[in-house]
Structure 1
């Protein structure tokens, strides 16, 4: 399995637009990306402008296929408008162990 965890600091007033693209991306993946296992967005109390994104794929090739998703492309175009900054909390790579089938 291939995946990672990213911490996004969303610009004030842009949370809804940011989450709209994330939800769109999750729908696209569910409908047309068999190699995408998970796309999750997590909001944490005490961090009002932060969204954590967890993504898991069958392998790196599935991640590359996901990058072609229309929502991912749109997010790339609008990232400067929506996000103040981001950090890879867990860099994208292969997992050492997982309960998911791969």
Structure 2
């Protein structure tokens, strides 16, 4: 997962046109620490992962490259219902995903 995180951070940095020092400011770390993250030499703590995930509008799982079978999102009737909501923004979609993740955590199969 650490290697995947490094690749994802590098890709996101490029996609968003960011420099290492800008990410460092966001995380309140030194610029070289960001370089270490992107090379896979070290990994950020949970607080920094949360800041990055929030900034890039991703879940922490997506940020670190963790993929698991998502039973709720694969439910066709639920997916159709969610599409019928006409969610317009990534923020609205992210909120629904957080809600579903929370419900799955509280009521695991």
Normalised by the length of structure 1, the TM-score is 0.30
Structure with greater contact order relative to length (CA < 8 Å, sep ≥ 6): 1
Greater strand share, structure number = 1
Normalised by the length of structure 2, the TM-score is 0.29
